[in-house]
Structure 1
């Protein structure tokens, strides 16, 4: 869904540029719809980052905590994420209800459709966080950050160090 919304947003942006500069008749609706689809794109892509652990990784903490305490760290980070996402979902519902009487300019569509991305995306993120924690608790996923950047940095560091040492000699 996130990729679809990104494609729609970019296409509408391109259409907006064409109508404005090529035809000298700017579209009144494409910019508004492009912005709304970009909001949905962000909130639909966020669960994948939470599920992969990319939004929750605090590298310094992982390096300082002993391996036996790593699950407690993951649970604490997950709990903090769930708390923030819960507040965001709740406030998003309130905000969506509050703006339901307003319309997107030039579209005559309720602006609440754009704001609904906040509670929907937050709820999806909460499911992703819970899924990651359950996978870590049951041992199906490793504890700590799951991305390769930390590994790449660690493997590159000795090479950079060796190169500096060789340069000094």
Structure 2
């Protein structure tokens, strides 16, 4: 399972890296062309916006793994261990439900906009809206891989990363 997790996380990270790099190149070339030649790439802004949407949904899973989303943890900190664990179970179930809702509603939204095309590049909006169900599925997989440690100890990968950096600096 650790091998799958390592490859899964690596593939997710590389998809993010490639998307961000392509978006940066497109925007840089467009700005350079605009100032150097008074011409710009017509589709650059639209495509980079769509890439940003995909970056958001594909990047939500790795951010979740590191505890990077906003959380209110004061209640857990104030409660005894068993009660705090119970709250984390409820939070975990609510997150699973939300991720499932993202997949389901994203799929419906994608189907509703299958024949609507973007203004400049004439790409079906369904390809852009597909980021929501794909991102939801990735969130479910990421959450399945870390939920046990979250519920039992409220630990994230960032905790291990922080501990490794703290011990290395001592």
Normalised by the length of structure 2, the TM-score is 0.75
The structure 2 residue matched to 1:16, chosen from 18, 30, 34, is 30
Deviation at 1:136, TM superposition (A): 4.8
Q: Distance in 2 between matches of 1:111 and 1:68?
A: 47
In structure 2, the residue corresponding to 1:63 is in which secondary structure? helix
Instruction: Decide whether the 8 Å contact of 1:103 with 1:110 is kept in 2.
Output: yes
Alignment of structure 1 residues 3-82 onto 2, 5 Å:
3-55=17-69, 57-82=71-96
4+ residue segments displaced more than 3 Å: 134-137, 145-148
Deviation string, structure 1 residues 122-141 (Cα, Å, up to 9, x no partner): 1111222222223456xxxx
Instruction: Decide whether the 8 Å contact of 1:29 with 1:105 is kept in 2.
Output: no
Q: Distance in 2 between matches of 1:90 and 1:45?
A: 19
Aligned residues: 146
| Higher helix proportion (structure 1 or 2) | 2
Q: What runs of 5+ residues in structure 2 fail to find an aligned partner?
A: 1-14, 164-170
Q: What runs of 5+ residues in structure 1 fail to find an aligned partner?
A: 153-169
- Cα root mean square deviation, aligned: 2.3
Deviation at 1:106, TM superposition (A): 2.4
Q: Distance in 2 between matches of 1:56 and 1:72?
A: 20
Q: Distance in 2 between matches of 1:86 and 1:56?
A: 20
In structure 2, the residue corresponding to 1:15 is in which secondary structure? helix
